[in-house]
Amino acid sequence: MGLMAQAQTDSQHVEMADQLRANGKIYVVVAVLLVILAGLILYVARLDRKITRLEKGTSSKGS
Amino acid sequence: MLRQNWWKILCVILLTYTFVAGFLGQVPAKPILNETIRNYYFHIAMWFSMMIFFIISLVYSIKYLRSNNHIFDIYALEYTKIGIVFGALGLATGSVWAGFTWGAFWSNDPKQLGAVIALLIYLAYLVLRNSMTDVDKRARIGAVYNIFAFAMLFPTIWIIPRMVESLHPGGQGNPAIHADAHIAMVFWPGALPGWTLLGVWITTLRIRLELLTEQ
């Protein structure tokens, strides 16, 4: 809705991904945080898989 | 539960929602707080998760005392550890937040002091455990101490800071920001379960590692 209204009021305006830089650029912070979150989750998920592999290794040996 | 995956995916979804809605969503405009009100999704979630971890730990300590099953002692220990980590993060984030809203990073506020005392009591749990070499003795005394440590949360965090004057919201007829619908929509379905599940995930990894090294 907001984008449509903007396009109507300014006919010369070229459609760009301006939203990402608008409103004090808070979107950039969100993007950075999501990258950090993704990195941390990836790290924990890999650790999870490693431990799973270890568990399978010990149980097959019958400990 | 320990080795299932669906709740880990849920954790990632909820935290992503917390970050996106937490920064882009609407929040009430309040003087002094301004945009820092968004800390609600992070600072308060830390404390709330900590309490959940300590409750889980308490349950496992009681289970240990009833059954003498060594595995319950490992669960109790690891949930206490993650609770201490989240509590320390809650303290640190609260200090940063206070630095820009109360005017000082540390002001010996009852809430701050109570939180520090509660965390020190839990840290002593780890020290106490490490002071004993006998595994059964350590588990038994640890479990009993853990119950005491949990009981101490009542005066240090839940009662005394709310009876005396404090800069912190939530006491003295000073309403916290629970009432706001926008904040509630991010905090209850997003931030709280998301952060808690992340802590549970890390804890289950540590428990599994502990069980592995014992084999």
Number of structural domains chain B divides into:
1
What residues of B are in contact with residue A58 (Cβ under 8 Å)? 212, 215
The stretch B35-45 carries a mean pLDDT of: 91
Range of the domain at A36: 18-58
pLDDT over threshold 60, residue B17: yes
Interface with chain B: mutation pick from A27, A47, A48, A50, highest number of B CBs within 10 Å: A48
Note the Cα A2 to chain centre separation in Å: 24
Q: For residues A2 and B211, which has the higher predicted lDDT (pLDDT)?
A: B211
The residues near B57 (Cβ < 8 Å, ≥ 6 apart) are: B75, B76, B77, B79, B80, B83, B146, B150
Lowest average pLDDT, out of A58-62, B17-21, B37-41, B136-140, goes to A58-62
In a domain, A42, yes or no: yes
Residue B64's CB: how many other CB atoms inside 10 A?
A: 24
Whether residue A30 and residue B24 make contact (CB cut-off 8 A), yes or no, is: yes
In a domain, B186, yes or no: no
On the CB side of B48, CA atoms within 13 Å amount to 16
What span, in angstroms and rounded, lies between the C-alpha atoms of B109 and A62?
A: 56
In a domain, A7, yes or no: no
What residues of B are in contact with residue A51 (Cβ under 8 Å)? 205, 208-209, 212
In a domain, A13, yes or no: no
In a domain, B33, yes or no: no
Nearest CA in chain B to A48: B205
In a domain, A30, yes or no: yes
Lowest average pLDDT, out of B99-108, B112-121, B143-152, goes to B99-108
What pLDDT was estimated at residue B88?
96
Span B56-97, pLDDT tens digits: 999 999 999 999 999 999 999 999 999 999 999 999 999 999
What pLDDT was estimated at residue A58?
72
Note the Cα B214 to chain centre separation in Å: 28
Lowest average pLDDT, out of A14-28, B132-146, B151-165, goes to A14-28
Span A2-33, pLDDT tens digits: 555 554 455 567 776 666 666 677 888 888 89
In a domain, A41, yes or no: yes
Residue B5's CB: how many other CB atoms inside 10 A?
A: 9
Whether residue A37 and residue B201 make contact (CB cut-off 8 A), yes or no, is: no
Asked if the C-beta of A36 comes within 8 angstroms of chain B's C-beta atoms, the answer is no
Tell me the one-letter amino acid at B91.
L
Range of the domain at B85: 41-170+195-214
Token readout for B138 is 């350590």
In a domain, A63, yes or no: no
Alpha helices, DSSP H, located in chain B: 6-24, 43-67, 70-101, 110-130, 135-151, 153, 160-163, 181-186, 192-214
Rounded to a whole number of angstroms, the distance from the CA of B4 to the nearest CA of chain A is: 11
In a domain, A46, yes or no: yes
Whether residue A63 and residue B215 make contact (CB cut-off 8 A), yes or no, is: yes
Number of structural domains chain A divides into:
1
Interface with chain A: mutation pick from B42, B82, B205, B214, highest number of A CBs within 10 Å: B205
In a domain, B96, yes or no: yes
Q: Which of A33, A52, A58 lies closest to B19 in CB terms?
A: A33
Q: Which of A30, A44, A63 lies closest to B19 in CB terms?
A: A30
